Structure 1
């Protein structure tokens, strides 16, 4: 499939991503294929190939069809197995990588990413993925570069932990009035920021919210009962829960302030 994809106009490389690339998959896990393109991919040709391999008609969302950061793609069922195609603009990925090397990142609104799409996910996907078709060697060359986590990005994402305190302070104002939506959003945002900062502290890529809490909990020096304490705070959503969240934020920021770790 990957070889046929790279033969289509615009598609320059295909990489296996997600849990299957990292070896953490379950038997029922999806197969996530990143389709790296330059220019304008031939969406009609992609749809024709997708329909052929699935054995039934299927629509492929072109660039922008799924939002500003998750370009587009398709959800296929091939021989009873879920296979997801995810479009990635290789020019944009390379541009984001250049920004990350300078310590710059952004968080964009994106469907399917309730805590926002953090731009370092682009080079992170390349770093953690498995290149399976790359006729010109472009994605392979980029992968070699992104294996070294930029110190400037590490510094920027660690410093971003200030927002966790800010979000908890906002939740503290809403909790006494019984506003569970605002409190839950503020605390979730705080914990999402902590996950990004903890991963960066250890020079580890954090791609999205899924599994980020458990992954952060497994990192060295993360406060004890990290996952359980987050769950307790999000179940409570009252003033006491907010203070428990504030305590966890303080502990994590203390870890971040302790200095560098070996990557």
Structure 2
């Protein structure tokens, strides 16, 4: 059973008393209403400057037991930069750090259609920096000591037209990937082809979400989410699955997978053009 809403708000009120923490949010699948019974509860800790790690660790042990620990910022990587994997009232609760100033820059960049994908452990597609803006838009505010997070959230309520256009334009990369992957077919290099296909379908999923004006904040479930969008290419998810089923080292099968990919990219471009009208 998940930790209760009352317990989360009580925890958030304590967290914003920790020096450095400015806002606390409920994020992830629970905030979006897509969680399963065994889903972790993600709690965003938005901070500015130096976090008081001693105070934060003491609070973690108080709410999650003596073995609980929190990381220093940066310990988990550059974009999911730290936090704590806790068990509260028998349920998994993840504290996840977010640098508020960095988030504000990402929101501004998204508004101007600027984005890039960044390497991060656990995210094979990479983390697009507009993920921060999407997280702000989709989160539930539990505590906001300064009001800055709430103001940022208001800026993300409407999906930026410039980001939509940039993600659709970014489909050039999906088309490019089909070409470079074909160079590996004669060698039966299934691993390289699989990597190109994974990147390709990720680019398509982001373009479709952009065209629909929907924030996509995680590659987990991205294909199913894209397939469910009104106007997405027919049988998008099934065709992606069939494409990967062909990746078995046989050059003929690899060629078939890339032919399927090329068709899907073309249909994705047409779908995005229609959806963005």
Report TM bin, short chain: over 0.9
1:196 Cα offset (Å): 0.6
Equivalences for 1:11-160 in 2 at 5 Å? 11-160=21-170
Q: Which runs of 4+ in 1 moved over 4 A?
A: none
SS in structure 1 at match of 2:70: coil
Q: What runs of 5+ residues in structure 2 fail to find an aligned partner?
A: 1-10, 248-253
SS in structure 1 at match of 2:92: strand
Who is 2:265 aligned against?
Answer: 249
1:32 and 1:17 map into 2 onto residues whose CA distance is: 5
Q: What runs of 5+ residues in structure 1 fail to find an aligned partner?
A: none
CA-atom RMSD in angstroms: 1.1
1:158 and 1:61 map into 2 onto residues whose CA distance is: 37
2:67 and 2:54 map into 1 onto residues whose CA distance is: 12
Equivalences for 1:234-245 in 2 at 5 Å? 234-237=244-247, 238-245=254-261
1:258 Cα offset (Å): 3.2
Equivalences for 1:140-219 in 2 at 5 Å? 140-219=150-229
Asked whether the 8 Å contact 1:175–1:242 carries over to 2, the reply is: no
2:245 and 2:272 map into 1 onto residues whose CA distance is: 26
2:167 and 2:233 map into 1 onto residues whose CA distance is: 19
Normalising by the residue count of structure 1, what TM-score does the alignment of the two structures yield?
Answer: 0.96
1:259 Cα offset (Å): 5.8
1:25 and 1:257 map into 2 onto residues whose CA distance is: 31
Figure out how many residues of one structure are paired with residues of the other and give that number. Answer: 261
Which range is displaced more, 2-11 or 144-153? Answer: 144-153
